[in-house]
């Protein structure tokens, strides 16, 4: 029986889930050398929302973060999260952009790319999986876990088999909402182990309070790797804590072999940071508690806070319970999409509009129209015919892979930013977040030339001398 391995998420998903991805590179660097000594399976430290947050809120170059951490971390694999054809943005990108992004990510130091699609539409994973394999990195394909009449054990088995045939090196069960219960996890992993030969990794959020128990049952069923966060950055909407799991498995056939003494030193480093985030208000104590609504409405913790925010803006917080009840109804109407970026935002916003306007689908956001047209991929189940008619009329949804309709775009992006370009990676940064990237490029040039960045408008570009 093999020892269980642990992926540490403190540098990516933990702070994304708890403090909206605001941990800076300078806060990470002093501890990464010690983290490299632990013997983790991998350090998840890039991808997800880190890219956007670096540029938008921290005035940091995400590529530079990757390079600086890679320079220090010599023994441990560096891992990132990629949204398939969406990369790290919120729409589909052409294949040339996807391939180039993967090439640059691996070239700058990423070893493992976890690739997922919000709809579990395998067509949206194919280009990224093949690009990762071509670059010599580890392609970890993902099944997004959710609960619905469509999403039974067989659904996950069929998806996993297809992903293995595509060449995936391992499979991740991604439970972003904390819905995977312990005994279901045991059955799911056990059945998957019978039909696929690649390693299985389990990723759960602690939102519903179940995740540590879920990990234990998944491990008993044969899970090879689990995702944890060092204790000051764990629990709530983050992952289960690393140290208690290491202690629970010690002297068992699943013993991780990790040193609790060393983990304790790492926790000591993160503890004052946590206190700083709490006192600044960046870490809201609410996200640290167990939220039973997660299980009642199958809504991820991050989505719950988003719904509260939308209702507050409309002065309609009194409608919160009504909106929570509307979310599962909208999800059923739309063919049971898993509630993960970007589908969680679509379903949540539509539920809010349905309740506030008093008429279902009277107002429909552009993203929901695009989803119903098939522009995000194939929904897991059938979209209700009357809802489809109400949203797109007699228009026929597309049935091909959405990215097949996209023209190559790298050369166009390169031309658009040539006055600001300092590295090849800048083209990809701009492709994903044009406006945010442009603001960052102007800031970067202003820092370089010690001038006010507001002087750098489109007509008055500063060129390197």
Residues 270 and 351 in one domain: no
Residues 54 and 201 in one domain: yes
pLDDT value of residue 1: 57
**Mean pLDDT of all residues in 91-103:** 97
162 occurs within a structural domain: yes
> Which CATH number is 310's domain given?
1.10.472.90
| Number of other residues whose CB lies within 10 A of the CB of residue 460 | 7
Residues 412 and 372 in one domain: no
Residues 242 and 338 in one domain: no
Token pair belonging to 180: 């995977």
241 — phi, psi (to 5°)?
-75, 145
Residues 376 and 439 in one domain: no
Does pLDDT of 77 surpass 50? yes
User: Taking the model in full, what pTM does it have?
Assistant: 0.94
Half-sphere exposure (CA, 13 Å, Cβ side) for 318?
A: 2
Domain that includes residue 251, residue range: 5-285
Does pLDDT of 47 surpass 90? yes
Does pLDDT of 451 surpass 80? no
**Gap between the Cα atoms of 405 and 374, Å rounded:** 12
259 occurs within a structural domain: yes
460 occurs within a structural domain: no
**Gap between the Cα atoms of 181 and 168, Å rounded:** 26
Helix axes of 95-107 and 425-432: crossing angle, nearest 10 degrees: 130
Residues 365 and 430 in one domain: no
Considering only CA atoms, which of 335, 326, 320 is closest in space to residue 298? 326
Phi-psi region at 209: left, alpha or beta (left = phi > 0; alpha = psi -120 to 50): left
Q: In this predicted model, what pLDDT tens digit does every residue of 171-192 receive, in sequence order?
A: 999 999 999 999 999 999 999 9
E strands, 48-129, where?
Answer: 77-82, 112-115
Q: In this predicted model, what pLDDT tens digit does every residue of 347-375 receive, in sequence order?
A: 999 999 999 999 999 999 999 999 999 99
Q: Residues near 316 by Cβ (< 8 Å), separated by ≥ 6?
A: 355, 356
Q: Which of 220-229, 278-287, 309-318, 447-456 has the highest mean pLDDT?
A: 220-229
Task: Tokens 């049971």: give the residue.
Answer: 336
Q: Are 406 and 93 in contact (CB under 8 A)?
A: yes
Q: How confident is the model at residue 286 (pLDDT cuts 50, 70, 90)?
A: confident
pLDDT value of residue 464: 35
Percent of all residues in the chain with a pLDDT value above 70, rounded to a whole number: 96
Residues 419 and 338 in one domain: no
Helices (H), 358-433: 366-372, 385-392, 410-416, 425-432
């Amino acid at each position: 029986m093999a020892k269980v391995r642990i992926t540490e998420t403190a540098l990516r998903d933990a702070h994304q889930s708890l403090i909206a991805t605001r941990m800076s590179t300078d806060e990470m660097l002093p501890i990464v050398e010690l983290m490299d000594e632990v013997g983790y399976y991998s350090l998840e430290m890039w991808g997800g929302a880190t890219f956007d947050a670096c540029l938008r809120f921290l005035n940091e170059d995400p590529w530079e973060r990757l390079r600086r951490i890679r320079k220090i971390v010599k023994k441990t694999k560096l891992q990132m999260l990629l949204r398939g054809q969406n990369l790290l943005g919120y729409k589909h990108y052409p294949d040339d952009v996807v391939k180039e992004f993967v090439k640059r990510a691996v070239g700058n130091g990423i070893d493992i790319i976890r690739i997922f699609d919000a709809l579990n539409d395998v067509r949206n994973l194919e280009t990224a999986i093949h690009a990762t394999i071509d670059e010599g990195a580890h392609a970890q394909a993902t099944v997004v876990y959710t609960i619905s009449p469509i999403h039974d054990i067989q659904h996950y088995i069929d998806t996993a088999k297809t992903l293995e045939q595509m060449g995936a090196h391992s499979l991740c069960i991604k439970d972003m909402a904390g819905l995977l219960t312990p005994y279901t996890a045991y059955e799911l992993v056990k059945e998957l182990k019978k039909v696929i030969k690649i390693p299985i990794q389990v990723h759960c959020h602690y939102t519903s309070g179940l995740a540590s128990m879920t990990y234990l049952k998944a491990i008993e069923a044969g899970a090879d790797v689990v995702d944890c966060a060092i204790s000051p950055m764990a629990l709530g909407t983050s992952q289960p804590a690393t140290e208690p799991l290491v202690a629970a498995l010690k002297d068992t056939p699943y013993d991780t072999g990790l040193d609790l003494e060393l983990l304790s030193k790492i926790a000591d480093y993160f503890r004052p940071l946590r206190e700083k985030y709490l006192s600044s208000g960046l870490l809201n104590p609410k996200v640290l508690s167990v939220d039973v609504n997660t299980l009642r409405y199958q809504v991820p913790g991050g989505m719950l806070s988003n719904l509260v925010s939308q209702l507050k803006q409309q002065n309609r917080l009194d409608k919160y319970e009504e909106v929570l009840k509307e979310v599962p109804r909208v999800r059923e109407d739309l063919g049971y999409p898993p509630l993960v970026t970007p589908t969680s935002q679509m379903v949540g916003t539509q539920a809010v509009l349905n309740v506030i306007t008093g008429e279902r689908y009277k107002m429909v956001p552009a993203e929901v129209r695009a989803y119903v047209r098939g522009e995000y991929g194939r929904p897991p189940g059938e979209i209700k015919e009357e809802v489809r008619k109400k949203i797109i009329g007699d228009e026929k949804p597309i049935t091909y892979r959405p990215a097949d309709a996209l023209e190559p775009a790298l050369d166009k992006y390169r031309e658009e930013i040539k006055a600001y370009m300092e590295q090849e990676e800048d083209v990809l940064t701009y492709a994903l977040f044009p406006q945010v990237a442009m603001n960052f490029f102007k800031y970067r040039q202003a820092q370089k030339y010690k001038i006010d960045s507001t002087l750098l408008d489109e007509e008055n570009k500063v060129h390197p001398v």
